A and B are shown apart, each in its own frame.
Chain A
Amino acid sequence: MWRLLREGLRGQQGWTRAWSKATPRPRYRVLIVGGGGHGLSTAFHLASEHGIRDVAVLERGPIGLGNVGRNTTIIRSNYFHPDNIRFYELSLTLWERLERRLNFNAMVSQRGTLNLFHTEAQRDLFTRRANQMRLLGVDAEAVDTSGIRRLVPLADLDNGRYPVLGGFLQRRGGTVRHDAVAWGYARAASAAGVDIIEHCEVTGLRISGSRVSGVETPGGFIAADTVCLAVAGHSSHLAAMAGLKLPIESHVLQAFVSEPVKPLLDVVLTYGAGHFYISQSDKGGLVFGGAIDGYNTYAQRGTLPMAEEVAAAAMTLLPPLARLKVLRQWGGVMDMSMDGSPIISKTPIEGLVLNGGWCYGGFKAIPAGGLTTAHLIAHGAPHPAAAHLDLGRFAAGRTVDERGVGPSPYLH
């Protein structure tokens, strides 16, 4: 703050790079592939929690332009599976402390996430989830229609087709300024001694015997004791370099933003009669999205039917939006796992660690994902909050399937 005043008087000349642009050294104790939220958070936690500073993050482009830079920024910890609640709740508590941890304002905004329900079956599911959360000490509350009307005056609760019967609110849920998350972790990790190496694509993984020994890049080989894959939608692609097949398919999730308008919507709202969720960014744009496209793809772009579908849901739930204009549409490639839950795990290759399978929900998990992945790397054993996210769960039949649709990512 004082700095801002001082720089104001000095013509903003004194600011320096938020993170330094490193060039790679020949070997590191830990190499993290992927400069997205999880890669950077992992690096930060390795350096700050475990004193492991001999770390580099390798990012094929500029950092933060993968899914961390294109998501709808929702954070919450309302999950069904108790282990998932614990994991995402850990993340939520870390979000609450993030700004002071990083000395960077990522605008964590706990404005509340409100899930609407339209059928009794949905009500029962949400009740069960909220009660499970409450047993674990996590905030969740039921909201009746008059409460919803107060929270979202724009909503047409009757809406002619699937009336809103009620909702569940997690007040501590909300949004975070997505880009600032990548920048804030990069800045803090860099300050702690981590090398952040941009424009450095990993093109191969070198395996010696059953161990990983480093990575190939266009600039040459870089050796490492541990290599952590944190490449989200490209997990399978990287794993294939080590001869591994993952329980992951890459699918596109789209997002949209409207023109900016004065404050309209003060919670994160999810519609229950179709795939649709929406919140308003601090800049004034309504940020919203829907379901995944539902087929394997690495193309980071949107489609017309999804735009129409999501707009139709918006119009149904929030008819006053009719004349507001949608500004931009984009997509992100997501690592859809076979049970819809993430994977933080060792792999059959010694020294190769996987952070992936984030599906459409890995943004909220960035603090905890980094913390638990760093723990796994530092201790060689899973962090208790992420022990259920191991790769072995699939074969063992211990899948963590929130939606109960089974190993068909196109249904998640």
Chain B
Amino acid sequence: MGGPARIGPGMLTAGSRPLHFRFDGRELQGLAGDTLASALLANGVLQVGRSFKYHRPRGIVTAGPEEPCALVDVIGLHGREPNVPASTLPLSEGLTAESQNRWPSLRLDVRSLADRLARFLPAGFYYKTFMSPGWAWERLYEPLIRRAAGLGRLSADLEPHADPAETVHDHADVLVVGAGAAGLAAACRLGGAGLRVILAEQDVLCGGGTLLDERWTQWRNALRARLEQLPTVRCLTRTAVLGAYGHGVFGALETLSADESARFGGLRERFRVMRVRRVLLATGVLERLIAFPGNDVPGVMLAGAALRYLRRYGVAAGRRPALFANNDEAYEALFALAAAGVHCAGVIDPRPDSRPAARARALGIPVHGAALVGAVDGRHQVRAVTITELDGRPRFVLEADGLLISGGQLPASALAGQLGATLEWHEGQAAFIPQLAAASGHIAGGARGVCGLAAAAADGDAAACAVAAELGRSAAALDLPPVPADPEATALRPLWEVRGRGKAFVDLQNDVTTDDIRLAVREGYEHLEHMKRYTTFGMATDQGRIGGLVGCAVLAEARGVPLSEVGALRERPFTQPVPFAALAGAEVRGHFRPRRRLALHAWHESAGATFVSAGLWLRPLVYSREPGWAPVLAEARAVRERVGITDVSTLGKIDVQGPDAARFLDLMYANTFSTVAVGRARYGIMLREDGLLLDDGTTSRLAAGHFIITTTTANSAAVLEHLEFHLQSTCAALDVVLTDIADQWAQFAVAGPRAREVVAPLTALDISKEAFPFMAVAETTLAGVPGRLFRISFSGELAYELAVPATEALAVWSALLESGARFDIRPYGLDALNTLRIEKGHITTAELNGNTTAEDLGLQRLLKKQGDFIGRTLAQRAGLNAGERLQLVGVRPAARSARLRNGSQLVSPAAPGMSLGYLTSATPSIEFDGWVGLALLSAGRQRIGERLLARSPVHAEEVEVQILSAHMLDPENTRVRS
């Protein structure tokens, strides 16, 4: 019997209750406080997955988020969650997990054939093959590759169970990332100086490296107690800082404890957006692996991870493990295991001798100096390791049930890299040390290459003092317990690769070997970023955290250049993968965008309206839940024959006041507003500076220096922004006040031959044809409410628009319905409105599509001849006045029974492949027999009377159409003026 086992109480599991879980169908037991990884190890489970490409058996390599191998699928209530690192997944009662990337079972994986064929599948093999026969890539090879690729399997039901999610915005003076020795010391100092501090720690406990060294317990507890008393310090554990985005913005993910999750209705994680003045990175160090043949066999684990499993969970990585390391720190694992009664098989150290080697020998552990591990025996589990001389000659075979490895430590510089750190090569530590410009942030402790916990604590403190000084605070002296002294260390001996037979991995997840790197160099992919992309090195879920530097070193050697010339992998968010749900927050699905509701929303709803989203607005489309045109046409017919009422409150409304209001509008609109009389409205068009149309609408003059603009619903925000921009730049000299009054006023159109009779009873105003002609405007009382009355028409009928404060909308609307009851007044929705305006040839955003000019839409007479306006000069360009431009026309099918379709292309029967234009809007007609539509047609006004084809090949439709003037209904405007 060998292999891992629980051998005692751990810091997190001591005395805790047992939990049951399932892994690959096996019922197992762990302890509260365990991670899935520690619980698996406690049960002697070594192999937990298969690798990406070769499907080789893989075990647990680390004890943290940097885990490359031990990723599992977690089977939950709502589906299957892939790629969860067992090393960070807290064990919970009933947890069900499965290994990934294997079929049919973990032990017997059919695709591991790839491993046997590996010599034919070098890095980038797919670029060189699968090309013939021509059809085969997509139909044969690609599906095969895709099925083989990918790690876990995601499956989830579509039910809108919507896991809760939330995003919290945090602010502080200083963000300290990492609560190890350096971070704790820094936070204490900063908090003592009265600064607002967020101390973010991804672990469930604060302490970092101090958690692994019993001598530091007292110091750590003292600092934690001090931090609790500091009112300006917030300590966020289980909170990983994921991204540094500049300007003091950071993204972090907090994983909730079970208790807090329950309090927040099952919320699993909380995304935090932190905005801070300064950042102090105390992210500590990561241990790196060594590339040697068989360095991926289950049972090979980083030494630091073994120490963590022992201290935190009381789990020994093996009952007879060996250690292969080139540095002193790694021996701590051995000593701790030995102290816990584990018999260690021996140490293999490339250094001839070292201080801890002597200590190991004293403990009776054999130490093989000036030696390497040249091979690992065992496929599913380490059985023995071959010890070699430094030159590769075999020395002997050492039996062991696990191999702890350590290639040294390197700063955890993911965030520093995102902040633009420069990397300085440090020969002594054989690592890149990140350096930041002071403006970007500070780094302290192991994260900038400081060795030892005491040194890290001092460094954190010093960095905190510097930050406090930058923020104008003097940091008060702290009365803290003394720190235990750091041991003296023997220098590390850089060791990247042990060459030998068999695969030596630098990327354990993507199965990139040292040979792959050399192949990439031979093929010219020798730049690190080329090598990465060619081999996929460093592109797995762990982003090369533990093997990255090793691969770079192998690359440097293959190229014959120093490592400093090769550099390191580029860091990007996220330091750890983040679930879509957490990143997205709560504003998803039904809450993806807010809903803007009309003041009369409830009324429309009770009247049976079908709503449609128009931007953020919910608008009544038709007052019926039935599909088809019948209800729409009934509404439109009511307008043409009697009277209808519609809610047009979504139109943009802008109040323009001030001595220069008219001058301002004259510049902003292509037509003139200074000549509009008080009490009158005018239809206006606005151009962009490039001469194309921006928007249209009516603008009314209430007083000499007071106008009300209406905009289209779609462009309301853009027009307001356009006006505000020009008012503060181009027209900064003008004295004008712009106010968005869109929500203040509800606005209704009452349209139809009986409109006057419906409106008249509500107002004291004489609204006869003579007294209140087309385009008249008045501020008046409407149904007892102070409002505004406009005589404007979009439908082509006699019509009034009434604007009243939105709070009074229901009262006035009801009054109108009551007044109209004798004419059987009908509310009409957006669809009927559209039918009416198409018949009339009025444009909307379908025609005002950003590519049309005033001339194109037949509005050229509105362009003023005198005076400047936005767009005036460029509207005169040849390209905007060319004869073949698309112009607005009306369209009817030649056969009255035929229907028209928006988006059909207009072609001449002689050249049915050449588009002459297209249909923008179409509707069954009230006034005319059959359908009518509007189109943009090349030289359209000259084609009036022609017959063309309206083709919609995607629907296999073709309709013969007749081209008409766009002013199909009442071209003389007698109705609107009646």
Residues of A within 8 A of B (CB): 1, 3-5, 7-9, 11-13, 15-21, 62, 64-65, 69, 82, 99-100, 103-111, 118-121, 123-132, 134-137, 140-142, 154, 156, 159-162, 168, 177, 179-180, 183-184, 198, 258-264, 273-274, 280, 282-284, 301-304, 307-308, 311-316, 319-330, 393, 395-399, 401, 403-407
Chain B, range 845-898, C-beta contacts under 8 Å to A: 845-846, 849-851, 874, 877-881
B303-336 contacts to A (CB < 8 Å): none
| Partner of B245 from A107, A118, A304 at Cβ < 8 Å | A304
The reply to whether A315 and B138 contact each other, CB–CB distance below 8 Å, is: no
Docked complex Cα distance between A136 and B913 (Å): 7
List of A residues within 8 angstroms of B572 by Cβ: 301-302, 328-330
Q: List chain B residues, Cβ under 8 A from A263.
A: 146-147, 150
Binds A, one of B341-349, B741-749, B901-909: B901-909
- Which 7 A-B residue pairings sit nearest by Cβ, starting from the closest? A404-B850, A397-B879, A127-B903, A284-B150, A160-B590, A397-B877, A325-B577
List the A side residues contacting B914 at CB < 8 Å.
135
Say whether A100 contacts B134, CB under 8 Å.
yes
A329, B533: Cα distance in complex, Å:
16
Task: From B525, B588, B593, B905, give the contact of A18 (CB < 8 A).
Answer: B525
For the complex, count residues of B whose C-beta is within 8 A of A.
Answer: 118
A160 touches B954 (CB 8 A): no
Complex Cα distance, B879 from A395, in Å, reads 9
B536, B541, B573, B595, most chain A CB atoms within 10 A: B573
Interface residues in B677-693 by Cβ distance below 8 A to A read 688-692
Q: Is the CB of A326 within 8 A of B954?
A: no
Point out the residues of chain B lying under 8 angstroms from A134, CB to CB.
953-954
Cβ B951 vs Cβ A131 within 8 A = yes
Contact A124 B920 (CB under 8 A): yes
A406 touching B688 by the CB < 8 A rule?
Answer: yes
Q: How far is the CA of A407 from the CA of B850 in the complex (A)?
A: 11
Point out the residues of chain A lying under 8 angstroms from B163, CB to CB: 322
Contacting pair A406 B251 (CB below 8 A): no
Q: Point out which of A111, A141, A326 has the most chain B C-beta atoms below 10 A from its C-beta.
A: A326
How far, in whole Å, are A11 and B132 apart by their CA atoms in the complex?
24
Q: How far is the CA of A173 from the CA of B525 in the complex (A)?
A: 29
Q: Which residues of A are found within 8 Å of B93, using beta-carbon distances? A: none
B903 contacts A397, CB within 8 Å?
no
Alpha-carbon distance A105/B612, docked complex (angstroms): 47
B151 touches A260 (CB 8 A): yes
Tell me, in angstroms, the Cα distance from A178 to B909 when the chains sit together.
43
Q: How far is the CA of A27 from the CA of B515 in the complex (A)?
A: 39
Contact partners of A103 in chain B: CB under 8 A: 131
In angstroms, Cα B913 to Cα A308, docked, is 44
New A-B contacts (7) at CB < 8 Å, excluding given A1-B128, A105-B131, A260-B83: A137-B913, A161-B590, A283-B536, A307-B251, A314-B580, A323-B581, A399-B690
Cross-chain contact A401 with B850 (CB below 8 angstroms): yes
Q: How far is the CA of A119 from the CA of B611 in the complex (A)?
A: 12
- Whether A273 contacts B592 in the complex (CB less than 8 A), given A4-B129, A308-B585, comes out as yes
Contact status A319-B901, CB under 8 Å:
no
| Complex contact B583–A328 (CB within 8 A) | no
| Pairwise interchain contact B589-A156, C-beta atoms closer than 8 A | yes
Q: Is the CB of A159 within 8 A of B589?
A: yes
Question: CA–CA, A183 to B527, complex, Å?
Answer: 13
Task: Report the Cα distance A48→B142, complex, angstroms.
Answer: 29
Distance of A316 Cα from B589 Cα, bound (Å): 4
Query: In the bound complex, do residue B160 and residue A284 qualify as a contact, i.e. CB atoms below 8 Å apart?
Result: no
Please indicate the chain A residues that have their CB under 8 angstroms from the CB of B612 in the complex. Answer: 119
Tell me whether A261 and B82 are in contact (CB under 8 A): yes
Contact across chains for B692 and A406 when beta carbons are under 8 A apart: yes
Chain A positions within 8 Å of B76 at CB level = 323
Residue of A nearest to B81 (CB): A323
Query: In the complex where A17-B524, A261-B82, A307-B251 touch, is A316 in contact with B138 (Cβ < 8 A)?
Result: no
Q: Which residues of B (572-613) have their CB < 8 Å from a CB of A?
A: 572-574, 577-581, 583-585, 587-593, 595, 612-613
State whether the Cβ of B152 lies closer than 8 Å to any Cβ in chain A.
Answer: yes
**Given that A131-B905, A329-B573 are contacting pairs, would A283 and B127 also be in contact in the complex, using a CB cutoff of 8 Å?**
no
Q: Is there contact, CB below 8 Å, between B530 and A62? A: yes
| A106→B127 CA distance, assembly (Å) | 6
Contact B523 A15 (CB under 8 A): yes
CB distance from B412 to the nearest CB of A (A): 17
B903 with A404: CB separation less than 8 A:
no
**Least CB separation from A155: chain B residue:** B158
Do the beta carbons of A283 and B150 come within 8 Å of each other? yes
Query: Would you give the shortest CB distance from B142 to chain A, in whole angstroms?
Result: 6
Residue pair B850, A405 in contact (C-beta under 8 Å): yes
Complex contact A135–B126 (CB within 8 A): no
What residues on B are CB-neighbors of A198 within 8 Å? 527
17 sampled A-B residue pairs with Cβ under 8 A: A4-B125, A12-B515, A16-B523, A62-B527, A121-B846, A135-B953, A259-B577, A260-B541, A261-B150, A304-B249, A312-B592, A314-B584, A316-B588, A320-B155, A324-B579, A395-B877, A397-B874
